[in-house]
Structure 1
Amino acid sequence: MLNRLQESDIKLLRVFYAVASCNGFTAAEPVLRMQRPNISAAIKKLEERLDLVLCHRGRGGFQMTKEGEVVFQETKRIFNAFDNFVFNLKSLHDDYSGHITLVLMAGLPLSMHLAVSKAVKSTMKKFDDIHVNIQTRLYNEVEHVALSGECHLVVSTYDMVKPESVTFHPIGIETEGRLYCAPTHPLAKYRDTDLPEGVKIGDYPAIGIAGLSSANYIEDETRLSIQTFSDSFDAAMSAIMTGEYIGLLPDYMAKEQGAALGLVPIAKGSLFNFSHELFVMNGKNTRLNPVLRHCIKELSYFISESQK
């Protein structure tokens, strides 16, 4: 069992990370510039060091174990931190090259993803030797990744009390949303009318979003009856479409994905309206060198333009 990380372990983890990222030994060969027998031997040695089975390989193809998934995610965190350390160290010498990591909140609309692509392209064009690693995280993880050093910048909405340890750069965009249900739900018949006096929202099970401020579930003296939680708006929409739950969703999701499903805004969309401001975020320990400052400026510009 591994008690202390050695340099040789890091080399083995890089092999595993490449294999897991490529979803197979053969696909990882050109990335690692290693032949399959050598890759297999490295994975076996790592498994012996960790005393864990990380993946299955055979006729059924490559498949990671549950333990392998955990090791992969932790390895990703380590290597992101390494890349960020090197990037920050270079910037102290006015050397703006290397990898920067940009995290997007899961569930952002396609228009914002395209805007992020334009901002990244602009940044890479201005700084020749920059590579951008784009990842997604769940809503309740964005604050942690901004603080942990796993990434340089985060694009996300944020409706909690803002911690002093995170810097927020407003984009000038707010994502609006409201209470939705499936077309099979009893409240769907009130799509175009106000709720009758005897119908109470609190009588219907609702699904919440982990990490979202509880203030979103209270409107005047009415409170949603949260029975379960989801880790993202996407997963919440799936639960809502069972017809068993009502829940809050951003309007862009209802328009882009929910329209084809028949997603229904309850009571003319007048209930539990919310507006969450979109930010580019970074931890106070992140040094905002010219590359990151340019990226923030471009993200703000292109995302704002995409919503006009």
Structure 2
Amino acid sequence: MRNKSSTKSGRPREVWIRLVYTPEQENLLLQFLTFDGFNGRMQISGSDIHLLTVFDCVVRNNGFSAAQPELGLSQPTISNHITALEERLGVKLCQRGRRGFLLTDKGHIVHEVAQSLMGALEEQSGLLSALKGSFIGRLSVAVVDSSATDTNLRLPEAIKAMAIQAPHVSLNIEIKQPQDILSGIAAGTYQIGIGSFDNKISGLRYEDLYTESHSLYCGSTHSILPDVGIRDISETIYEYPWVHRGYWNRQRQRQIRSHEHDRVVGDIEAQIIMVLSGQYLGLLPDHAAQVHISSGRLTSLPPASDNFSCPMQLVTRNSPQPKIVELFRELVKSQYEL
């Protein structure tokens, strides 16, 4: 659809608005624009849309008189509008008279096209309105694995607030390893990251949210269990193989004595599975281990010097960010300020 406006110099300028139709709507519109008597395609103007709106109201109310209250127009005026539309299209739209109001075959086609056109205009108008003073776009958030069981992670509450305040934002959540989160944010793949990061990279902003505690666990069939509660096992724990996470930094890895049968995995879920086997000890987030403790499949070992707590942080690029990024960042942080 084309409209004309003026430039600063006073010369007319053409502005094009592209409407997107379904295949069914395109077929109806093609029929509408290729009636007998037309030479080429019809350019739909604002007055055409007005006439089609009047015609739609008349059809829905099944007559001129019944459409008066909705349109706020007299019956002669409505009749003149329908006549003008018929002249514009070069087709007879309806029969009116003693036999009442009756649509012609082409009148049915025009009415279907009118409804499709007005529906498309309303949808596009809604999208344009969303641009004014609203948030719109795509936001990608990366989170470390096994965080859904952590009641301290108030990400669901922030997502709810985002959906209410910015319903037109497309929010995508991905589960990634800490280093993939940081490199992804630096590269622009993700806008926000949440996790604990041993190996930080420069150019990013790290903001503490809460602390996640880790303790030493073993499976319910592990051979260390008979010693628990009988004697000090602080040295015994190093006689057994452990399962570690590969993304821990060297300092943390050096703090744990190595065993020739130690294993390294890429994420917490894999680590839990290895510990559940009863063959390995492992430092696990307490919230992630709790469900397996309740079922009797895991056992928490006495506090050891290897137990630790790590800060869970919100990460963004250390530079001015788009409004939707700043909005979600503030919504997450606000959950910890209540």
What does the per-residue CA deviation read over 1:238-296, in whole Å, with 9 as the maximum and x for residues that have no partner? 01111111111011111134431431222x133411111011112346x4233222211
Where does the alignment leave 5 or more consecutive residues of structure 2 unmatched?
A: 1-21, 24-130
Give me the whole-angstrom Cα distance separating, in 2, the residues matched to 1:148 and 1:259: 41
Matched, 1:189 2:226: yes
Q: Are residue 227 (structure 1) and residue 262 (structure 2) matched?
A: yes
Higher relative contact order (CA 8 A, sep 6+): 1
- TM-score norm. by structure 1 comes to 0.59
Counterparts of 1:153-192 in structure 2, within 5 Å, are 153-160=192-199, 162-171=200-209, 173-192=210-229
Q: Secondary structure at the match of 1:186?
A: coil
Against the structure 1 CA distance between its residues 137 and 113, is the aligned structure 2 distance closer, same or farther, given a 3 Å change threshold?
farther
Tell me which residue corresponds to 1:213.
249
Matching of residue 278 in structure 1 with residue 315 in structure 2: no
Counting aligned pairs with the same residue, the percent is 15
Alignment-derived partner of residue 84 in structure 2: none
Aligned counterpart, 2:3: none
> CA–CA distance in 1 between the matches of 2:188 and 2:206?
16
Cα distance in 2 for residues equivalent to 1:205 and 1:248 = 12
Q: Which amino acid aligns with 2:328?
A: C
* Residue in 1 that maps onto 2:285: 250
Change (3 A) 1:104 1:142: same
Q: Which is helix-richer, 1 or 2?
A: 1
Q: Within 5 A, what are the aligned runs for 1:126-145?
A: 126-145=165-184
**Shift of residue 95 of structure 1?**
7.3
Any runs of at least 4 consecutive aligned residues in structure 1 with deviations exceeding 4 A, and if so which?
111-114
The root-mean-square deviation of aligned C-alpha atoms, in Å, is 3.0
Q: Which runs of 5+ in 1 are unaligned?
A: 1-32, 35-90
Tell me if 1:148 matches 2:187. yes
In the comparison of the two structures, how many residue pairs are matched? 209
- 1:269 corresponding residue in structure 2: 303
Secondary structure (helix, strand or coil) at the match of 1:167 reads strand
1:122 aligned residue (161, 164, 170): 161
User: TM-score normalized by structure 2?
Assistant: 0.55
Q: Which protein is bigger by CA-based radius of gyration?
A: 2
* Deviation by residue 1:83-107 (Cα, 9 ceiling, x = unmatched): xxxxxxxx9x987411111111111
Distance 2:265 2:337 in 1: 29
| Counterpart Cα distance in 1 of 2:274 and 2:158 | 34
Matched residue SS, 1:163: coil
**CA distance change for structure 1 residues 145 and 207 in 2, over 3 Å: closer, same or farther?**
same
Local SS of the residue matching 2:262: strand
Distance 1:133 1:212 in 2: 26
Query: What per-residue deviation string (whole Å, max 9, x for no partner) do you get for residues 91-139 of structure 1?
Result: 9x98741111111111113345972122122123223421211111123
How big is each residue's C-alpha offset from its partner over 1:5-54, in whole Å with a ceiling of 9 and x where there is no partner?
A: xxxxxxxxxxxxxxxxxxxxxxxxxxxx99xxxxxxxxxxxxxxxxxxxx
Matched, 1:299 2:301: no
